[in-house]
Amino acid sequence: MGKESKGDGIKLIANNKKAYHDYFIEEKYEAGISLYGTEIKSLRMGKCSVKEAFVGIEGGECYIYGMNISPYEMGNIFNRDPLRTRKLLLHKSEINKLTGKVAEQGYTLMPLQVYLKGSLVKVEIGLAKGKKLYDKRESIAKRDLKRETEREFKIKNL
């Protein structure tokens, strides 16, 4: 499931395509995540989902809710709850900046992807603003138009 790029040792574990469809992503941040041993092993096997996950800020700390990390098969009693709330590791200045932005009308924080960077697990979170229905239709129309032009170009060059 994971894709690996040779340049910087990044292996993609989970991607949130739904976030790009439902939201305009304005800024992206890279955050570490506080995990336990069996969760790391499960992530290395690629068993993670961030489709229903969201990010919240409480008491000057950043947390991710609803991120599903499947239990590790060999973990027995050491396995944790798959949907437990996990702490994100960000600098205080980044958290303060995000708190100010989220306080504005219509902004939210969404996890975009989970990946391994070297031996560390990182989460890319995006500052997002919700799309209206007509925005979604417009982006679908643009995507279809782009697909058609690429298909025509391919046929002409054969």
Instruction: Tell me the pLDDT tens digit for each residue of 12-53.
Output: 888 888 888 888 888 899 999 988 878 888 888 888 888 888
How wide is the angle at C-alpha 134 spanned by C-alphas 15 and 125, nearest 5°? 25
- What is the pTM (predicted TM-score) of this model? 0.73
Cα–Cα distance, 49 to 42 (Å, whole number): 12
The residues that bridge with 4 in the sheet, in sequence order, are: 11
> How remote is the C-alpha of 71 from its chain's centroid?
20
The whole domain housing 109 covers: 4-131
In a domain, 148, yes or no: no
> What is the CATH number for 55?
2.40.280.10
In a domain, 108, yes or no: yes
In a domain, 72, yes or no: yes
Cα–Cα distance, 100 to 121 (Å, whole number): 26
Comparing CA positions, the residue from 112, 107, 64, 52 lying closest to residue 89 is 64
